[in-house]
Amino acid sequence: MFGAEANCRLVWPQSAVASGNCIPSYSRICLLSGVSSPSLLQCQAHSFSSLSSQFTSRFSPNSHKSRSLSRFPLNASSSSVGSAEYTEEPATKVQFLTTLSLPDCSGSLSLLGTGFREKVFAIIGVKVYAAGFYVSQAVLSKVNSWKGQSASKLKEDSSLFSTIFQSSLEKSLQIVLVRDVDGKTFWDALNDAISPRIKSPSPTDESALSTFRGIFEGRPLKKGTFIFLTWLDPSKMLVSVSSDGLPSSVDATIESGNVSFSLFDVFFGDAPVSPSLKDSVASGLAAILK
């Protein structure tokens, strides 16, 4: 449970069934009142080669003050802790490493955008989590045809996000909880979003959902917990959960194209659960491709 009021539960968005492209969805989420301040997340940094100077730029004019960095530009402020570089998601103050390495990934991933999920409950905006989207540098080679387009156009182009998803290049979504959540409640909400997108689940889909469910049921998820959803290719996704910094292992491997796509669509479909995340990723891509 979330703590403050037992009568509400988190409900993820529902949408049409999965297909080869991103599809419209209609978000529906209810959660409890009361906002907890997110913890400052400090994790060990991993070495990462600088992007070429053509990808170096300042953050968006609408963002907090930041300095120029040789990495994907983001709509957030930058800071350092020791040798680690962080980008702060402004609404939640959660800090994300600008580059990281994850279990079973072949190389480092770069932060492309950050955002948050908020639900207005009793006229109060309640933050649910912060999120950051990481990609392999190689993803740039797949999106060159969108060069020169504005962030607003990129955000509305479902084929762009479909191309990113369909590429066999590593990408990962980091979710950082900003309040305590019961594992079963988290899974129920997640399943409510995924299942309606799969019209006729195959035995493979059912097995994948069962594996997914087993990660969270009976597992308390404390404020500050990291959940990484890492796509290795369109039909293979790794799930890692850690309450103590970056994960050192993979909790489960989900091998279902329908389940993998449905989850990606929750965040990057036509009606994403976190508009700020999709906006930030589009802005990051626009800055790189200008």
Say if residue 33's pLDDT is above 70: no
The answer to which of 37-46, 234-243, 269-278 has the lowest mean pLDDT is 37-46
Task: State how far the Cα of 113 lies from the Cα of 143, in Å rounded to an integer.
Answer: 16
What pLDDT is recorded for position 64? 37
pLDDT per residue over 215-233, tens digit each? Answer: 999 899 999 999 999 999 9
What pLDDT is recorded for position 121? 64
Q: What Cα–Cα distance (Å) separates residue 216 from each residue in 43, 193, 251?
A: 23, 15, 10
What pLDDT is recorded for position 212? 95
pLDDT per residue over 224-258, tens digit each? Answer: 999 999 999 999 999 999 999 999 999 999 999 99
User: Could you state, in order of their start, the residue ranges of all structural domains in the chain?
Assistant: 14-47+70-289
Q: Report, as an integer, the average pLDDT of 63-71.
A: 37
Give the whole-number percent of the chain exceeding pLDDT 70: 69
Query: Sign of dihedral through CA atoms 8, 274, 47, 82?
Result: negative
- Among the four given CATH numbers 3.50.70.10, 3.50.30.30, 3.90.420.10, 3.40.50.300, the one describing domain 14-47+70-289: 3.50.70.10
pLDDT per residue over 88-115, tens digit each? Answer: 999 999 999 999 999 999 999 999 999 9
What pLDDT is recorded for position 158? 96
pLDDT band at 71 (very low <50, low <70, confident <90, very high): low
pTM of the model: 0.74
The answer to which of 65-74, 160-169, 192-201, 204-213 has the lowest mean pLDDT is 65-74
pLDDT band at 273 (very low <50, low <70, confident <90, very high): confident
Say if residue 61's pLDDT is above 90: no
Say if residue 290's pLDDT is above 80: yes
Q: Which two tokens stand for residue 24?
A: 């419209």
